[in-house]
Chain A
Amino acid sequence: MSFVIETQNLGREYKTYQKKEGVLNSIKGFWNREYTAKPALKNVNLEIEGGQIIGLVGSNGAGKTTLLKILSGLIYPTQGSVKVLGFEPWKRETEFLRQMSLLLGQKNQLWWDISARDSYSLLTKIYDIDVNTAKKRVSDLADMLSCQHVLDTQLRRLSLGERMKMEIIGSLLHNPKVLFLDEPTIGLDIVAQSAIRDFLASYVRDYKPVVILTSHYMDDIAQLADRLLLISKGEMVYDGTVKRFSQTTETSKKLIYRYKNDLQERELIFQDSELSEKLNEVVKSGEVVNLKIEEVDFEEVIHRFLAKESRI
């Protein structure tokens, strides 16, 4: 079987200048600098087929952005091999760049001073797309994202949510086969997050690209991802479905209860085996007026897992 993305023992090391405290060390550093090598990614092996949304999750500095940068050709790996659509990304061959797109949620990909429509016109020429095809595609995508009314406004005058919609259209204009999305919903309100999530789900259903998605909002991953990649300290610690991850890594439940004089509900997370014990504790401590038991949500599972991994 041929995979869209394939890596073998992929790794990347960063060299960092170690600046010791004080003016004297700054002067010393003028001619003699000490560097330390820090591995940001270690022995990553991946095989990804077409038409999937892959959720890439990890804490800050875990290596997920480094992995995205290598896969999109921004940086060179220092170890192992990588193929995306049959190309070695770091060679940045035109045919590869034409078939992929990288959207960094915290950076502008479109041009700040001109309207989104002007930006799309420029992208049409950069990707050498037929003008009418591109216009129709912009119109279709803008309909899907309900943002036709802001296409002629300069990017700098748009709200964050509108800007992100414009960025998404720009990144999809050339119909990429691989789409790297780094925090596409960051800073957006719940309505905008949900609109973008719905759009991505329907886009992938219709066009079948491979999407690698990183997000701090676990709802993005839980609702969109077919497959979850969990990365910690540069190593892949989980590769499988979101459902299996929730089932195999946690058997916890959440007890939500309220005492008579409480204004807000209280929460208690416990293992299945502790149910009777925890219930007893809660009931003995006051007059319970409301009590329910729920599954722990995905975000909490991930956070607990990552916290545990970071302690190792």
Chain B
Amino acid sequence: MKKLFIAFWRRNLAFSELAIVSNLEYRFNFFIDAFVQPLITVGIELLMWFAIFETANAVQIGGFGRDNYLAYGVWAPFLGRIAVSWMYESMMVEEVASGSINVILTRPISFYEYYLSQLMGYKVTTTLISMIAPLAVSLFFDLPVHYSRLPMAIALVFYYLFLVHTLSFVISTFAFYMTRVRSLTLVKNLTLWLLAGELVPIDLMPPAIAKILLLSPFPAGVYTPVAYITGRADSDLVLQSFISVTISMVVAVIIGAVLWRKGLQSYTGTGA
């Protein structure tokens, strides 16, 4: 048992390393993705919220002041970037559709595990670098941020990432049946973007919708951790998010496992 456990970690750390090594091969792309893009996003958010408060000529909107929105606007895209899996989901779908998955199917590795570890390796690395932008802006403008709450908030987003990856796994199994499912990836990610509260803070939504959304697992990706570090919510909401993510993950894993098994039965080993 101990041997299996060690082998498991050894293998998965190697997959994480693979993600880091592969991405560092393309230095320019990595630099843009991990540093320039978050910087530009933070810049846009700052300009947008400054402009909104200037033109509204108001001290508060929806019960929150400019600095609260600035803090939300700076941290929401940062956490939202952690909580999506465009690149790896596209790779997973492409692997199934093109038949490159043959390499994984004929080796003693699991497709789910292989991409999960790569996703985590990549996210940890980019998070460490891209966090510089929101941190610097928060400190410079002295925004209302509880820095001691950051580790818990980031832990929640990374936990939510397991659910995001499981959903990516489910989407990729569709490629066994339909081959081209890129449109599904787009729809799913836009939906998550909205439901997570990255586009509009959930407390600005109609109360009935906000109430339902907060019970769902999706705010765990953006709204709940941002609300927690900016003081809009307390640890109860964080705990509730951990629970709803766990429940959703169990459901998604079951659906994914069934679709995977059925998909393999209809798989024709395309491209080999």
Q: Do A and B bind each other?
A: yes
Chain A residues with a Cβ under 8 A of chain B:
14, 65, 68-69, 72-76, 90, 92, 94, 97-98, 100-102, 104, 107-109, 111, 113-114, 118, 121-122, 125-128, 154, 182
Bound together, the chains give a CA A132 to CA B60 distance in angstroms of 65
CB pair B14 A126 closer than 8 Å: yes
CB pair B108 A118 closer than 8 Å: no
Chain B nearest CB from A159 CB (Å) reads 19
> For A100, what are the chain B residues with a Cβ–Cβ distance below 8 Å?
106
Residue among B14, B105, B272 making CB contact with A121, cutoff 8 Å: B14
Residue among B14, B100, B268 making CB contact with A125, cutoff 8 Å: B14
Chain B nearest CB from A154 CB (Å) reads 7
CB pair B100 A107 closer than 8 Å: yes
Bound together, the chains give a CA A128 to CA B106 distance in angstroms of 15
Stretch touching chain A among B17-25, B45-53, B123-131, B225-233: B17-25
CB pair A101 B106 closer than 8 Å: yes
Cross-chain pairs A/B with CB under 8 angstroms, 25 sampled: A65-B272, A68-B272, A73-B105, A74-B106, A74-B272, A76-B264, A76-B267, A90-B264, A100-B106, A102-B102, A108-B103, A113-B21, A113-B22, A114-B21, A118-B18, A122-B15, A125-B7, A125-B10, A125-B13, A125-B14, A126-B11, A126-B107, A126-B109, A128-B10, A128-B11
Is B265 positioned at the interface, with any CB of A under 8 Å from its CB? yes
| Chain B 60-104 near chain A by CB (<8 Å), digits 1 or 0 | 000000000000000000000000000000000000000110110
Is B269 positioned at the interface, with any CB of A under 8 Å from its CB? yes
Quick one: closest B residue to A115, CB to CB? B21
Q: What 4 pairs across the A-B complex have the smallest Cβ distances?
A: A125-B14, A97-B108, A69-B269, A74-B269
> For A111, what are the chain B residues with a Cβ–Cβ distance below 8 Å?
18, 22
Is B206 positioned at the interface, with any CB of A under 8 Å from its CB? no
Chain B nearest CB from A259 CB (Å) reads 48
Q: A118-B18, A118-B21, A121-B14 are in contact. List 20 more A-B contacts (CB 8 A).
A: A68-B272, A72-B106, A74-B102, A74-B105, A74-B106, A74-B269, A75-B269, A90-B264, A92-B105, A97-B107, A97-B108, A98-B108, A102-B102, A102-B106, A104-B272, A111-B18, A113-B21, A125-B7, A125-B10, A127-B108
Bound together, the chains give a CA A282 to CA B21 distance in angstroms of 67
CB pair B272 A107 closer than 8 Å: yes
Count how many pairs of residues, one from A and one from B, have CB atoms less than 8 Å apart in the complex.
76
Is B271 positioned at the interface, with any CB of A under 8 Å from its CB? yes
Bound together, the chains give a CA A111 to CA B109 distance in angstroms of 15
> For B107, what are the chain A residues with a Cβ–Cβ distance below 8 Å?
97, 126-127
Chain B nearest CB from A214 CB (Å) reads 11
Quick one: closest B residue to A76, CB to CB? B265
Quick one: closest A residue to B21, CB to CB? A114
CB pair B264 A114 closer than 8 Å: no
Chain B nearest CB from A304 CB (Å) reads 28
Bound together, the chains give a CA A237 to CA B21 distance in angstroms of 49
> For B99, what are the chain A residues with a Cβ–Cβ distance below 8 Å?
107
CB pair A122 B108 closer than 8 Å: no
Bound together, the chains give a CA A69 to CA B107 distance in angstroms of 13
| Chain B 256-272 near chain A by CB (<8 Å), digits 1 or 0 | 00000000110111011
Residue among A14, A65, A73, A113 making CB contact with B106, cutoff 8 Å: A73
Chain B nearest CB from A150 CB (Å) reads 17
Chain A nearest CB from B30 CB (Å) reads 12
Bound together, the chains give a CA A293 to CA B59 distance in angstroms of 102
Bound together, the chains give a CA A100 to CA B272 distance in angstroms of 17
> For B108, what are the chain A residues with a Cβ–Cβ distance below 8 Å?
94, 97-98, 126-127
Bound together, the chains give a CA A101 to CA B269 distance in angstroms of 16
